[in-house]
Structure 1
């Protein structure tokens, strides 16, 4: 397990730094005084002060980070009302809590937004430098008693369209099927030069990836065994790589939202949710493959962290945005008591989520 720690800290450190940098840069743009920029929580390991009085620090517990504004009571950006009341007029002009609600919302939203931009940058860089490997959508086998077998798929079929949308590679089939459990799909296939139309309904199944990580997805039952000569590499220019990176980020974001919604509605297995232990193991596995795989993992985790932070739970960025939305509608902020109760509930939910994820991790690592 010790071998997993360096790649884990590398991946998590990049994601946390970019997230907090988003908050930091927009806060500076809005002329907000910043007391501290911290990677990690707890006792400080190293730190320094910049020319504007911000303390940059690396702390002992590397499972998060924060930007502490002047007037914050703690790392969760709960306001210190006594400190706010005792501020001078000059200090009030740079106080986060006395800025217009749109500026506070922009500062809070900048963290998750930075996570999505990081993912786009990583994917675009990979596509530009090494291209994207693709495999033709050829069926090399059909699982018995599967939706594909019932629909009449045969080895040798080449899928050319699904519900009228062109299929360029086998990954297009996997992505369409994975998010279409229970939906009737129309497949257009090339069978020996003849166009054939087949109808199939993917089943929802609990599966495992190559590293043993559980996930739920639509299952069709077709196989696509390939050899190295079957793999093509799609190349991109700078603009094309950026567009492809944005499209890849959008797809993973959509798929992640579907998974979260499926778990909440009990339509998908909650075993898919993992915490630091699972991330550490997967980081080590990806590092053993190479830096490209490790950066790909960083992009996917960055998207997940951006989405989780947007959940409307007090203590998270989404909870703050919820409060600011209510403030904008009411014309005044929620009462101090209402905010305090909200933060306490949010803390309980966050701790419960962490416990649940860690429990899933232990089951995953011992299975």
Structure 2
């Protein structure tokens, strides 16, 4: 029994605590983006909650906003006065009965541009957080870079068939400059089955090779596996092969923007390939996987690595919230775009149906990614 309890404590302290710390910071920044913009727009706020479900603690500020810490720490919300629930779905009947003077300062009676600004501010806050974190890491610790040089070529691999030889230095892929071996791996991993035009340098001469990465099951370095595109090039790193490039403040910010965009671009590429059947949905991850990865990263790389993971998660949460799914920020923006084109909001019935569909989609996605996570754990 004591051994079992010790194992439970190891999981909680090693994986759950780092994951919750990272997630709560990212969620807090996201919701604070909504909150500060709403305050700036003069919109009254009923509650700011970290987590969902039963309330563990609260306090009420001088403007009447209830700040909540809830029992289920898998998200959060800002609830405006007049909202019927945490996803900013209005109680239409109650709103219609309000006198005109009471409607001032309510989110659902605010001008369209204010509502759009408040909704967009959450994802933007996530992107800003990620940029600043990446910039701070690049300015202090530096960005690890190893030359995209092939030390060896796997026999029978797409790289060998394309004519690669040991010592080849990759300069660009499909016209996109490649600065490091990891950057090359990122491009190749999302290109299974796609023909790549690869510019290389060999013995001072530039050559263009054409190769098509094949999909393989590869270790992910976290105790599991993932199916990714591979060429069959490998790099043997010694102590002096990795260069940590430090940047000044302005250059570091630029690198932070580039890193943030790279994550968004890779996500868009994966989603696009997913819809056309060129990627598998079983690579999607949820909170269980986040906890597992957080624990491994915190143990192997310490605080800097965990902070870096938090920045990646911040980009992901900000970007996913922009998907045009009712209940998410992107769903609200979709409704506002339709309102701008029509000159009036969607009908009450249409909005209610949209939110129900959105809720069902979010629940199904949560169940699906959790099943993926547990399947990986069962197979590892």
* TM-score, normalised relative to structure 1: 0.95
Q: 1:308 Cα deviation (Å)?
A: 1.7
Q: 1:323 Cα deviation (Å)?
A: 1.0
Corresponding residue to 2:199 among 185, 188, 202: 188
Q: 1:214 Cα deviation (Å)?
A: 4.3
In structure 2, the residue matched to 1:347 is: 359
Q: 1:102 Cα deviation (Å)?
A: 1.7
Structure 2 unaligned segments of length 5 or more: list them.
1-10
Q: 1:174 Cα deviation (Å)?
A: 1.9
Please tell me whether residue 320 in structure 1 is matched to residue 336 in structure 2: no
CA deviations 1:51-73 (Å, max 9, x no partner) are 11111111011011000000000
Q: Which moved more, 1:32-41 or 1:179-188?
A: 179-188
Question: How many residues are treated as equivalent by the alignment?
Answer: 367
In structure 2, the residue matched to 1:87 is: 98
Please tell me whether residue 62 in structure 1 is matched to residue 73 in structure 2: yes
Q: Which moved more, 1:321-330 or 1:63-72?
A: 321-330
Q: 1:245 Cα deviation (Å)?
A: 0.3
In structure 2, the residue matched to 1:330 is: 342
Please tell me whether residue 2 in structure 1 is matched to residue 12 in structure 2: yes
What SS does the corresponding residue of 1:174 show, helix, strand or coil?
Answer: helix
Task: Indicate conservation of the 8 Å contact 1:310/1:317, yes or no.
Answer: yes
In structure 1, the residue matched to 2:113 is: 102
Q: 1:102 and 1:85 mapped to 2: Cα distance?
A: 22
Corresponding residue to 1:311 among 319, 323, 329: 323
Q: 1:164 to 1:274 in 2, by over 3 A?
A: closer
In structure 2, the residue matched to 1:302 is: 314
Task: Indicate conservation of the 8 Å contact 2:43/2:106, yes or no.
Answer: yes
CA deviations 1:278-326 (Å, max 9, x no partner) are 1111111111121111111111111111122111111111111111111
Task: Indicate conservation of the 8 Å contact 1:215/1:271, yes or no.
Answer: no
Q: 2:214 and 2:112 mapped to 1: Cα distance?
A: 46
In structure 1, the residue matched to 2:133 is: 122
Please tell me whether residue 217 in structure 1 is matched to residue 228 in structure 2: yes
Please tell me whether residue 159 in structure 1 is matched to residue 170 in structure 2: yes
Q: 1:161 Cα deviation (Å)?
A: 3.6
Q: 1:138 Cα deviation (Å)?
A: 1.6
Q: 1:206 Cα deviation (Å)?
A: 4.4
Q: 2:27 and 2:260 mapped to 1: Cα distance?
A: 18
Task: Indicate conservation of the 8 Å contact 2:197/2:209, yes or no.
Answer: yes
CA deviations 1:9-66 (Å, max 9, x no partner) are 1011011101101111111111000000000011111111111111111101101100
Corresponding residue to 1:277 among 288, 309, 312: 288
Q: 1:159 Cα deviation (Å)?
A: 2.3
* 1:134-153 aligned within 5 A: 134-153=145-164
Backbone CA RMSD of aligned residues: 1.7
In structure 1, the residue matched to 2:249 is: 238
Q: 1:131 Cα deviation (Å)?
A: 0.9
Q: 1:213 Cα deviation (Å)?
A: 4.6
Structure 1 unaligned segments of length 5 or more: list them.
none
Task: Indicate conservation of the 8 Å contact 2:92/2:348, yes or no.
Answer: no
In structure 1, the residue matched to 2:218 is: 207
In structure 1, the residue matched to 2:370 is: 358
In structure 2, the residue matched to 1:256 is: 267
Q: Which moved more, 1:264-273 or 1:45-54?
A: 264-273
What SS does the corresponding residue of 2:319 show, helix, strand or coil?
Answer: helix
Task: Indicate conservation of the 8 Å contact 1:134/1:233, yes or no.
Answer: yes
Q: 1:171 Cα deviation (Å)?
A: 2.6
